[in-house]
Amino acid sequence: MESAKLTLDPAFEVGPVERRLFGSFVEHMGRCVYTGVFEPGHPRADGTGLRHDVIELTREMGVTAVRYPGGNFVSNYEWEDGVGPADDRPTRLDLAWKQIETNAFGLNEFMTWLNEVDAEPVMAVNLGTRGVGEARDLLEYANFPGGTRWSDLRIAHGRREPYGIKVWCLGNEMDGPWQIGGKTAQEYGRIAHETAKAMRRVDPSIELVACGSSNLRIPTFGSWEATVLEHCYEQVDYISAHNYYDPVPGDLASYLASAIEMEMQIEGVIATADHVAAKLGSRKRLKVSFDEWNVWSQSRFGGESGLEWSHAPRLIEEEYDVAGAAVVGSLLITLLNHTDRVGIACQAQLANVIAPIRTEPGGPAWRQTIFHPFALTAAHARGRVLQAQVTAPKMVTERYGEVPALAAAATLDDDRLSVFAVNRGDEPLPLEIDLRGLPGATGITHVTVADDDTSARNTERDPRRVEPRPLDGATIDGHLLKAVLPPISFNVLTAELS
């Protein structure tokens, strides 16, 4: 078997591990909120209706930030509907997903839930059917101490202290023809500029995310970012990126290599943003907020036009297999390897809707296969990301040509080394990690997410079919750490350094 090699040296690093890379996403879509994170009357729900089995799994997963309330949902959302006494809230039509929205769960419930999971909010504002004034009002409600209309309303609703929400998304996928209130790049760039200006007057400490392209394949990718940022570059801190990676039947190799596409997109967005900075003569450097990403059989989804009006339907409740876990692991590796320019990332979504956590109404919650690479990476990625120099056998893919069979990243936290590695190939892959710059490695551990059946899934009946398991056999031979990665697997190797 041909070996893969990984060379690491503490003198060469990408940057510090951004904790916001381990973000998630809660949208009013399908059963993500209702019977997902929120289900009054459930045996594990508290007095406010929050499901504590989901809270516990979210904590275990290591989620650090959560984007809310959308997504496409936000572009038709009136935030005032979701605050105040629940009995007084109106029921509305959600035009994004053809759902009946009761507004039983809103900003205050979300922030209470977020406190329970110990994560940070990434709040989106409606720049589809609404605009500058409503965004300003929401920020005043959330962050202003008191003595004004909207801050006093928050206090009247039982929350005296401001929420202090730091990160705000200026709309969602405004380039998409599916978006309610979608805009041209010129139109969006102007409203993003004016909204940012007004919001910073209310709270100068906030961080703002401008909408980038909704995916890499949309025809305006690149030109959208360039035009938008020429309007609002100095007013924002991040430009967003979204993408989903589709397991097209009959092309497993390309699916396993999906991280190549994520890397292309990140580097394209960074290059465009830096181009605008050069044009404007700005020394400021934006970061990327990759605030929607996941694996999803999107080609099998017929779109919102085929949906019927209903409340909390079972919508794109994907069941993930071992191959999906390996792809998610490789996407996390790509985010780590770009931690110098990617400051936020949110896997979409948290519960039920293309999600790592599944639930049943009145029943259990369980971990899907893609839960495990996220939880392992969030737990072990600490300190600094080292530059990972990979030499690996090639595998041929239909979509991306030849790609390395190994995807890898490494972090160093004081004297603890963690290596994250995905074997994309269908054969075991011997791995040698050159540690000449990191001597004295001891206490080697190797944990893998793999299965002899790459289509194995976790289900309500068999929720622990696929779990991380320790592997024996990792050794130190001189300056080389040696291990064998199972076929189509996500792996974490750790070592203590003297």
| Residues with a known catalytic role | 173, 292
Q: What would you report as the CA-atom Rg of the chain, rounded to the nearest whole angstrom?
A: 22
Nearest alpha-carbon partner for 26 in 91, 128, 107? 107
What span, in angstroms and rounded, lies between the C-alpha atoms of 157 and 343?
33
Within 8 A by CB and 6+ apart from 359, the residues are 31, 35, 36, 39, 51, 53, 54, 351, 352, 365, 366
- Would you call 140 helix, strand, or coil by DSSP? helix
The residues with which 431 forms a beta bridge, in sequence order, are 4, 483
Provide the angle, in degrees to the nearest 10, between the axes of the packed helices 371-380 and 52-61.
60
DSSP string of 244-298, one letter each residue: EE---TT-HHHHHTTHHHHHHHHHHHHHHHHHHHHHHT-----EEEEEEEEE--G
Distances (CA, A) of 147 to 84, 155, 156, 200: 18, 10, 11, 19
Which segments of 329-425 are extended strands (E)?
Answer: 342-348, 357-359, 365-367, 384-386, 389-391, 394-397, 401-404, 406-413, 416-423
Q: Which is it for strands 23-25 and 489-497: parallel, antiparallel or unpaired? A: unpaired
Measured in degrees and rounded to the nearest 5, phi and psi for residue 210 equal -85, 150
Within 8 A by CB and 6+ apart from 310, the residues are 98, 99, 100
Identity at 111, one-letter amino acid code: M
- Would you call 204 helix, strand, or coil by DSSP? coil
Provide the angle, in degrees to the nearest 10, between the axes of the packed helices 185-202 and 223-232.
40
Q: Which is it for strands 238-245 and 120-125: parallel, antiparallel or unpaired? A: unpaired
Q: Are 446 and 471 in contact (CB under 8 A)?
A: yes
Nearest alpha-carbon partner for 175 in 218, 131, 132? 218
The residues with which 243 forms a beta bridge, in sequence order, are 293
Distances (CA, A) of 293 to 101, 244, 481: 25, 5, 32
